[in-house]
Amino acid sequence: MSDFHQNGNIATLHNLRARPLDEMTYELETFAQNRKMSLILPCLYSELETDAMPNILAELSKVTYLHRIIIGLDRANEAQFRHAKEFFKGLNQKHIVIWNDSPRMLDLGKRLDELGLAPSEPGKGKNVWSSLGYLMSCQDSAVMALHDCDILTYTNELLARLIYPVANPNFPYQVAKGFYARVGDDKLNGRVTRLLVSPLLIALKKVVGDKDYIVFLRSFRYPLSGEFAMRTGILPDLRIPSDWGLEIGVLSEAWRNLAPKAVCQVEICDNYDHKHQDLSPEDASAGLSRMSTDICKAIFRKLAADGTVFTSNIFRTLKATYYRTALDLLEAYHADAVMNGLAIDRHKEEQAIELFAENIMRAGNFFLENPHETPFIPTWNRVHSADPDFLADLNAAAAADDAEYV
């Protein structure tokens, strides 16, 4: 059962279980007559072989209000690209699979590299950025949504609820962030949000003060969700992080560019399950270990850009404050789990907290030792300024790949 609590900083749109999906779909079809909507799916080829993707494809095929679906395909060779095109033929909407590793796309990457504007590393951030560029080159969509391709509990109601707040012309929202519960059949999930982000933001408030940015992030019930929708007018100035800080980075851009009244969070499903990353305590460059470090760096960068001064002493204090706060929250999570008949492994949870505490220091040291780092992919406005033909050539390259590899 949902609640109707509002935090006062951004609007929270709940699922109060009072409205049929068919009714919402009819409204979205009406909005779509004047405000075309597109969906971006950043996808690894390996995700086509999972249990999640066939169900996502079947659910999306029922959607009647989408104008276009853009699938950004990573880590695929030519044969795999051909297979991906065949796989997505089941979609009823206009769609395109963008082969990010094609010779044409790699040539465009070299062109950006010569201008000093190429993304610094491959990954989800680059995939999303390229897909946004293609969407802008089409010049025909007023609203876009994005969600991950590993959602095991996916239904098309998730998309409808996600896109509705920005598609409704009577609403003021430019950005909608999805949220949901992360509860498995017998345990609490969402480790990085529960054990890192929530206690870190509390600790930051204690150590560096009650900053507006911290208040903004703490307003979101699930800040690491990969599901969000936007009105496309804000896309040209959007700075996409090139590392695993994408979700925090998008929220940071919403905070930088928009008034709080233009941002909302929306409950898009009762429960959500997807592919779970390994903690990877032995490898700081993989799994949740790397993710936690990148998230910390993204938060530290944004606070510094807003005038917060960081030193090694502050990071040591932050680590200690975080550690105590996280253990206190673990007590609450444990009680919540027990009361609801869910399992929680306190030993593994504390191991995760210890790893995250070390990664706060790792991220802090990296931040101090690399003052000239520019981890954001350039905005599409900057790319267009440096190379006015690039977006058109990106569109043409994607179309040529689509036509050649049949």
Which three-class secondary structure state does DSSP give residue 226?
coil
pLDDT at site 185: 74
Mean pLDDT across 291-300: 92
Residues 157 and 151 sit within 8 Å (Cβ to Cβ):
no
- With residues binned 3-state (H G I as helix, E B as strand, rest as coil), the percentages for the chain, rounded to 5, are 55, 15, 30
Predicted confidence (pLDDT) per residue in 303-360, tens digit: 998 999 999 999 999 999 999 999 999 999 999 999 999 988 999 999 999 999 999 9
- Closest C-alpha among 285, 180, 261 to residue 228: 180
Q: Provide DSSP, 252-304.
A: HHHHHHS-GGGEEEEEEEEE--BPPPP--TT-TTSHHHHHHHHHHHHHHHHHH
Indicate if the pLDDT at residue 146 is higher than 80: yes
Amino acid at 127: N
Please give the C-alpha separations between residue 90 and each of 189, 207, 270, in angstroms, as whole numbers: 32, 52, 27
Predicted confidence (pLDDT) per residue in 371-399, tens digit: 777 678 999 999 999 999 999 999 999 99
CA angle 362, 363, 369 (to 5 degrees): 90
What residues have CB less than 8 Å from 37, skipping those under 6 apart? 28, 31, 65, 66, 67, 141, 142, 143, 144, 145, 163, 167
**Cα 205–chain centre separation:** 24
pLDDT band at 182 (very low <50, low <70, confident <90, very high): confident
pLDDT band at 289 (very low <50, low <70, confident <90, very high): confident
Top pLDDT among 238 and 277 is at 238
Taking only Cα atoms into account, the Rg of the chain, rounded to an integer number of angstroms, comes to: 21
Amino acid at 36: K
* Calpha distance 108→245 (Å, rounded): 25
- Closest C-alpha among 271, 56, 62, 63 to residue 164: 63
pLDDT at site 120: 80
Residues 105 and 397 sit within 8 Å (Cβ to Cβ):
yes
- Closest C-alpha among 39, 43, 38, 40 to residue 100: 43
Residues for the chain: how many in total? 406
Predicted confidence (pLDDT) per residue in 217-241, tens digit: 999 999 999 999 999 999 999 998 8
